[in-house]
Amino acid sequence: MKIGLLGHGVVGSGVTAITDSCAVKRVRRLEVSRILVKDEAELTDPRCTLNVEEILQDPEIEIVAECMGGLEPAHTFVSRALEAGKHVVTSNKKMFAHFCPELCALAAENGVTIRYEAAVGGGIPWMANLTRVKRLEPVQSFRGIFNGTTNYILTRMEETGMDFAECLNEAQSLGYAEKNPTDDIEGYDAKYKAALTAMKTFGAEPDLDAVITYGISTVSSKDLAWAKENGRSLKLIAEGKDDGDSISLWVMPVFLSKNDIFANVRENFNAAESDSKTLGKAVYIGQGAGSLPTAHAVVQDLLDIYVNQDAVPEAMKKRTVYNGNISARFYIRTGKPELFDAVTEQKLAEDTLLTKEMPLSEADRMIKESGDAALFAAMVAGE
C-alpha cells in the first residue's frame, strides 16, 4: 500500500523512520513512496518533492498522511486527497478541529476514511480506545491533560518555584514549546483536542467559539505556592460531558486534589479519561508529543486502514455547547478583586479570592467583563 506523506518535520520524519523499518515494510507492505517537503533544503531523500501534484495525482498512492500542521494549505490538500478517493491520516489538530465535520462528510461521500489518532494526545491510543468503548456503550464524559507544553511548564513551576516566563524559556530551549507559544499557553491547542474528542465521543459538531477556554499565560509562582499550601496540583484540564440537550466543553487550569491520578501526570506527558456506564473511568497516560510517539500513532492509523478495520466516518450533528451545568468554586487573582465581591467566599490575598460555588458560564462572563488581561482564573476541584 503506497503512502504519500505531506510534511517531513518532527512528525513526518518519525513516520518515515518507522515505515522504513523492516518489520512494517516486510510484514505489512506499507510504503511511503512520495514526501512533500516545503523547500529545497529539505530535499534529503529521493522520494522528496516540492510538487504536491506528484502525490495527489498519483493513482498508486492510496493513503495520504498529512503531517504539515497549520490550516492552509493542509486543509486544501486533504480535501483534494479525499476527492481523489484516497484515505487520509492526519496529525494536524488545528486544521482538523476546524474542518472535521466537513472533511468527514467529504470522506463518506468518496467512500474513504479519515483518521486522526495522532492529533489528540500524541502517542496515547485515545481514539482507538474511545472507538472500542463506543461499540458497546456511549461515553458520557471525558477529561484530559491534552497539552504537553503547559503541563511541562506547570510541573517545573511546581518543582522549582520559578516563575512562568523562566519555565517557558526552559521549555522552549528543550524543544517542548514553540517559538510562538500562543496556541499552547492560551489553551487553544487543548481546545482543538477537546473539540476533536467531543466529535468522536458525542458525535457532536461543537461551535469552537463556544468552548470556554482559559490558558496559563497569566499564571504566577504565587498561584503554585497556594496549590502547595493546600495540597493541590495545578493542571490545564479539558473536559466534556454529554448533557442530553447540549454538551459542556471547556478548557481551564484546575487545582486538583493530590489524590487525583491526573495530579501526578508530570513533565510533558498527556492524560485522557473516559467515563461510561459499565466500564467506568478508564485512564490513558503517555507521550503527548515528540517525533516517534506521534508518528507511532500515525502509523497505527495507516495499519488500521491497511487491515481494513475502518468504516467511513460517522455523521455528526451540530450540538449546542452550554457550560451552565458545570458548577465549581473558582480561584481568581486580579487587580480588580472588587468586581467579584458578590461571589467571593474567601479572600486569599489582597488580589486573590475564592468564589463560592457558581456556574462556569457565569464565572466566565464575570471574568470577561472585568477587562483585566492579567487576571488568572482556575477552577478548584473537589473539597
Q: How far is the C-alpha of 353 from the C-alpha of 356, rounded, in Å?
A: 10
What cell does 123 get? 502517542
Examine residue 300 and tell whether it contacts a second copy (CB under 8 A).
yes
Give whichever of 156 and 191 is closer to a second copy, judged by the CB atom: 156
Q: Cell numbers 487550569 correspond to what residue?
A: 253
What cell does 29 get? 507492505
Examine residue 137 and tell whether it contacts a second copy (CB under 8 A).
yes
In this chain, which of 14, 215, 253, 337 binds a second copy, going by CB under 8 A?
14
In this chain, which of 286, 326, 355, 370 binds a second copy, going by CB under 8 A?
286
Minimum gap (Å) between residue 216 Cβ and a second copy: 21
Q: How far is the C-alpha of 356 from the C-alpha of 170, rounded, in Å?
A: 36
Q: Pattern 111-130, binding to a second copy, x per CB under 8 A?
A: ------------xxx--xx-
**DSSP designation for 155:** H
Q: Which residues contact 230 (CB under 8 A, 6 or more apart)?
A: 255
Residue 134 annotated to the active site:
no
Minimum gap (Å) between residue 43 Cβ and a second copy: 25
| 20-28, 61-69, 101-109, 345-353 -> range binding a second copy (CB under 8 A) | 20-28
Examine residue 18 and tell whether it contacts a second copy (CB under 8 A).
yes
Do 116 and 91 touch, CB atoms closer than 8 A? yes
Examine residue 318 and tell whether it contacts a second copy (CB under 8 A).
no
Examine residue 265 and tell whether it contacts a second copy (CB under 8 A).
yes
C-alpha to C-alpha distances, 29 to 102, 113, 184, 303, nearest whole angstrom: 31, 19, 37, 10
Q: Pattern 241-260, binding to a second copy, x per CB under 8 A?
A: -----------------xxx
Give whichever of 7 and 290 is closer to a second copy, judged by the CB atom: 290
Across the strands, what pairs with 358? 328
What cell does 284 get? 490513558
Q: How far is the C-alpha of 288 from the C-alpha of 285, rounded, in Å?
A: 8
In this chain, which of 1, 10, 24, 48 binds a second copy, going by CB under 8 A?
24
In this chain, which of 57, 169, 230, 309 binds a second copy, going by CB under 8 A?
309
What residue ranges in the chain does DSSP mark as E strands?
2-6, 31-36, 48-49, 61-66, 87-90, 114-115, 139-145, 204-206, 212-213, 232-242, 246-257, 269-276, 280-287, 317-321, 327-333, 344-349, 352-355, 358-359, 376-380
| 294-302, 325-333, 350-358, 363-371 -> range binding a second copy (CB under 8 A) | 294-302
| 66-74, 104-112, 283-291, 343-351 -> range binding a second copy (CB under 8 A) | 283-291
DSSP-based three-state secondary structure for 205? strand
Across the strands, what pairs with 23? none
Examine residue 95 and tell whether it contacts a second copy (CB under 8 A).
no
Q: Which residues contact 59 (CB under 8 A, 6 or more apart)?
A: none
Q: How far is CA 365 from the centre of its chain?
A: 25
Examine residue 272 and tell whether it contacts a second copy (CB under 8 A).
no
Q: How far is the C-alpha of 280 from the C-alpha of 59, rounded, in Å?
A: 45
**Per annotation, catalytic residue among 86, 93, 191, 193:** 193
Q: How far is the C-alpha of 177 from the C-alpha of 186, rounded, in Å?
A: 13
In this chain, which of 29, 132, 356, 365 binds a second copy, going by CB under 8 A?
132
Give whichever of 168 and 271 is closer to a second copy, judged by the CB atom: 271
Provide Rg for the chain, Cα atoms: 22
Minimum gap (Å) between residue 69 Cβ and a second copy: 20
Residues 193-232 that bind a second copy (CB under 8 A): none
Examine residue 180 and tell whether it contacts a second copy (CB under 8 A).
no
Q: How many residues bind a second copy (CB under 8 A)?
A: 44
DSSP-based three-state secondary structure for 319? strand
Sort 192 into a burial class: Cβ within 10 Å, 0-12 / 13-18 / 19+. buried
Give whichever of 281 and 365 is closer to a second copy, judged by the CB atom: 281
Q: How far is the C-alpha of 109 from the C-alpha of 101, rounded, in Å?
A: 12
Give whichever of 23 and 373 is closer to a second copy, judged by the CB atom: 23
Length of the chain, please?
383
In this chain, which of 261, 315, 342, 349 binds a second copy, going by CB under 8 A?
261
Which residues are part of the catalytic machinery?
A: 193
Binding region for a second copy (CB under 8 A): 14, 17-18, 23-24, 28, 123-125, 128-129, 132, 135-137, 258-261, 263-266, 269, 277-287, 290, 292-293, 295-296, 299-300, 303, 309
